[in-house]
């Protein structure tokens, strides 16, 4: 499984987030050549978030969690945001026609019309728990302050009893100060 989450900026499709899976785990990152922020959730439950600063990879967070195959409900991998500004969008890579992704998610630029940011939370979800997960995400992200934009789930090839799901949400336009 390889996924690229993209948006349209000035009529160019830009890649925001990447998701990747291998036999050793699930990986999620932002397209940022300088900082390369990413999270790894390994098959054995090792979980860490890393970022690059001045050419050195730094571990920002690290802990031992459940093995992927032992997740009976859902487990967060990383929460991050995407900011829709010209300097940020212009430095993101364009969607390549020779891409290796098995799926593309395109977020229409209109979603950023009133709020120039979008929050994303990525989870590993046991497929038997999917209906409860979706209900929980709707309850958690459809509130007085936030609105749920989308939940995208992708079947994991190396861990077929589980999906990786990306929850997209934003501050409600009426709640901006």
**Structural domain containing residue 134:** 2-175
d(CA 117, CA 120): 10
Distance CA(125)–CA(133), nearest Å, equals 8
How much is the pLDDT for 47?
Answer: 97
The two structure tokens encoding residue 74: 């859902």
Question: What pTM, to 2 d.p., does this model score?
Answer: 0.90
pLDDT of residue 177: 56
pLDDT in tens, 19-50: 999 999 999 988 877 778 899 999 999 999 99
Closest CA to 43 of 19, 26, 57: 26
Number of domains into which the chain is organized = 1
Secondary structure class of 110 (helix, strand, coil) = helix
Highest averaged pLDDT of the listed ranges 48-57, 139-148, 153-162: 153-162
Query: What digits encode the pLDDT tens for the residues 98-136?
Result: 878 889 999 988 888 777 888 899 999 999 999 999 999
Structure confidence at residue 176 as a pLDDT band (50, 70, 90): low
């Amino acid at each position: 499984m390889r996924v690229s989450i993209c948006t349209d900026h000035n009529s160019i499709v830009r890649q925001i987030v990447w998701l990747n899976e291998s036999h050793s785990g699930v990986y999620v990152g932002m397209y940022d050549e300088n900082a390369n922020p990413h999270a790894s959730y390994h098959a054995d439950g090792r979980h860490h978030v890393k970022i690059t600063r001045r050419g050195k990879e730094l571990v920002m967070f690290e802990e031992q969690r459940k093995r992927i195959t032992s997740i009976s409900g859902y487990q967060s991998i990383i929460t991050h945001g995407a900011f829709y500004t010209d300097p940020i969008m212009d430095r993101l890579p364009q969607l390549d026609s020779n891409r290796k992704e098995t799926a593309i998610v395109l977020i229409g630029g209109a979603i950023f019309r009133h709020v120039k940011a979008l929050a994303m939370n990525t989870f590993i979800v046991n497929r038997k728990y999917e209906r409860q997960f979706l209900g929980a995400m709707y309850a958690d992200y459809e509130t007085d302050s936030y609105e749920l934009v989308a939940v995208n789930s992708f079947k994991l090839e190396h861990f077929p009893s589980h999906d990786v799901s990306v929850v997209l949400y934003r501050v409600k336009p009426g709640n901006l100060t």
